[in-house]
Amino acid sequence: MTMDTVITGLGTVSPAGLGVEAYWEALVEGRTLIAPIPDFDTEGFHVHLGGKVPGFDPYDHIEGRFVVQTDAFTRFALVAAEEALRDSGVDTSVDPYATGALICSGAGGVEFGQREIEALWSEGPDRVGPYQSIAWFYAASTGQVSIRNGLKGMCGVLVTDEPGMLDALGQSARTLRRGTSSMLVGGAEAPIGSPFSLACQVGSEVLSPGVDPTTAYVPFTEGATGHVPAEGAAVALVERADVARERGARIRAVVAGQASTFGGVGVFDPGGEGLLWAARQAMERAGVSPEEVDVVFADAVGLPKADADEVATIRRLFPKGVAVTAPKTGFGRAYAGAGALDVAAAVLSLEHRIIPPTPHVLDAPFGLDLVVRVPRPARPRTALVLSRGMGGANSAVVLKHPEHA
Amino acid sequence: MSQRNITIEELVELVSICAGVRTDVATASTSTFEELGVDSLGVLGIIAEIERRVGRKLGPDAELVPSPTALIAFVAEGDVVTADGV
């Protein structure tokens, strides 16, 4: 199954700030965006660092009526979706039924929920606001993005860890083939804004206990002790290639192939078999050989076993070697937002002809051409993005530069 | 001691706090909640806050009132009143 889906709009809210430009600038610099979690005392959590979106006042970007009824993860989705839509130039008012939305979430609106539960316990059930009924919900971002932009096309939500965005790209390709003209697809997450949010994650034992932002999240190294959680969102406007061409849109990247597998419950795909299968299938669907892939955006969990499995997978896929990067080590893993931010990074890498480095990892491990320390000028035409979720899901997507699709 | 009624000025404030919609007395007096952009959950939140201020429950019919002026009348009369469609 070859795909005829193209990305014509991109929006991000990340620890680098608002907008794709700020995100790309930080990636190329390999900037450290990891810092102590600022909003509450993390003593007792065994997790102290995070990648936080800096200085985000929702009232600067979103109408008050949306602010009062949304959790932070939905606000990030709204802002990223607005950028993606503007970037694409699609006028959704022409036919509201022609555009859909699919925004992934792994944690939902826990921060909003904590506030309402505090009200419940301190003042009683009458103090729980009615918007609790919708704000915590995983589908809240899809719903609010649809409402705010007047979209009436197909909508959905994938409740996932990191692979969500990659899966969403695959799903949207099928939706577009059935007649929808365009879709806003993305992932949004706000998992470090409240003690309850963080408490929901510490049991997973995959988060780094480190307190030094430059050494806490260093996958593929002997110092790997897990990853740093982050918040943020990325949204892409995808549309059918023929629709995009007809309206003269700027095509930012072609979504050439995608595949998903499931590797096992409660673990990151032991052995890497599931990830390997997903990657091979995505490449086959895209019609690209290993020699044609110029860069791999690695999952980079930061746990020794998972890292070793991923290195083995990449070596089996590319026996002759391939450039590999994991820019997320500069700011952390934003769960469902992480895959989305990786897809955005891959699109920008193809566009700018630069492979951003893997911050904080100082040397490439044996047998892996990891881009470290400085960005690598290149002419990547095809990128492979790999992703695993802690629930065992794997996903891979092949993105192509439009001139080489 | 609880107050007995609410004023349009108070309601303008509650519309902002509970539903995130900024309005003024003149607009609120002549608009429905829908016209103001206050959705049904927003109305529920406003009613809950009024119930706290007046110290009594307004009952399930309260959420059926279509507009700020009708809600003020409802708090005063305990009945759904609609005047001139507002």
Residues A135 and A10 in one domain: yes
Closest in A64, A130, A133 to B20, CB measured? A64
Q: Are A71 and A137 in contact (CB under 8 A)?
A: no
Residues A398 and A279 in one domain: yes
Residue of A57, A65, A133 to mutate for B, most B C-beta atoms under 10 A: A65
Residue A254 to residue A65: CA distance in whole angstroms: 36
Domains: count for chain A: 2
Which domain range does residue A175 map to?
A: 5-246
- Percent of chain A at pLDDT > 90 equals 93
* Chosen domain end from A227, A246, A265: A246
A66 contacts on B by Cβ (under 8 Å): 20
Beta strands per DSSP E along A66-220 = 99-104, 155-156, 182-189
Residues A214 and A85 in one domain: yes
Domains: count for chain B: 1
B42 contacts on A by Cβ (under 8 Å): 65, 68-69, 130-131
**Tokens in use for A304?**
């020794």
Closest in A64, A133, A134 to B22, CB measured? A64
Residues A166 and A185 in one domain: yes
Q: List, for residues A67-110, the tens digit of each pLDDT value.
A: 999 999 999 999 999 999 999 999 999 999 999 999 999 999 99
CATH number assigned to the domain comprising residue A156: 3.40.47.10
* Beta-sheet pairing, A253-262 with A295-297: unpaired
B45 contacts on A by Cβ (under 8 Å): 129-131
pLDDT tens-digit profile, chain A (405 residues): 455 899 999 999 999 999 999 999 999 999 999 999 999 999 999 999 999 999 999 999 999 999 999 999 999 999 999 999 999 999 999 999 999 999 999 999 999 999 999 999 999 998 999 999 999 999 999 999 999 999 999 999 999 999 999 999 999 999 999 989 999 999 999 999 999 999 999 888 899 999 999 999 999 999 999 999 999 999 999 999 999 999 999 999 999 999 999 988 778 888 899 999 999 999 999 999 999 999 999 999 999 999 999 999 999 999 999 999 999 999 999 999 999 999 999 999 999 999 999 999 999 998 999 999 999 999 999 999 999 998 899 999 999 999 987
pTM to 2 decimals?
Answer: 0.95
A13 to chain B, minimum CA–CA distance in Å? 23
Residues A90 and A188 in one domain: yes
* Chosen domain end from A246, A280, A305: A246
B19 to chain A, minimum CA–CA distance in Å? 6
Q: List, for residues A205-258, the tens digit of each pLDDT value.
A: 899 999 999 999 999 999 999 999 999 999 999 999 999 999 999 999 999 999
User: Is B84 a member of any domain?
Assistant: no
Residue A380 to residue A385: CA distance in whole angstroms: 13
A134 contacts on B by Cβ (under 8 Å): 41
B42 to chain A, minimum CA–CA distance in Å? 7
Residue A295 to residue A298: CA distance in whole angstroms: 9
Q: Are A88 and A8 in contact (CB under 8 A)?
A: yes
User: Is A179 a member of any domain?
Assistant: yes
Residues A76 and A152 in one domain: yes
Residues A182 and A278 in one domain: no
A64 touches chain B (CB under 8 A): yes
* Beta-sheet pairing, A35-36 with A17-18: unpaired
Cβ density class A94-121: b for 16+ within 10 Å, e for less? eeeebbbbbbbbbbbbbbbbbbbeebee
B82 to chain A, minimum CA–CA distance in Å? 25
Q: Are A372 and A330 in contact (CB under 8 A)?
A: no
8 Å CB contact of A69 and B16: no
Which domain range does residue B24 map to?
A: 8-77
User: Is B2 a member of any domain?
Assistant: no
CATH number assigned to the domain comprising residue B44: 1.10.1200.10
8 Å CB contact of A130 and B41: yes
Residues A149 and A215 in one domain: yes
User: Is B85 a member of any domain?
Assistant: no
Structure-token match 């990247």, residue found:
A253
* Chosen domain end from A217, A246, A275: A246
A262 touches chain B (CB under 8 A): no
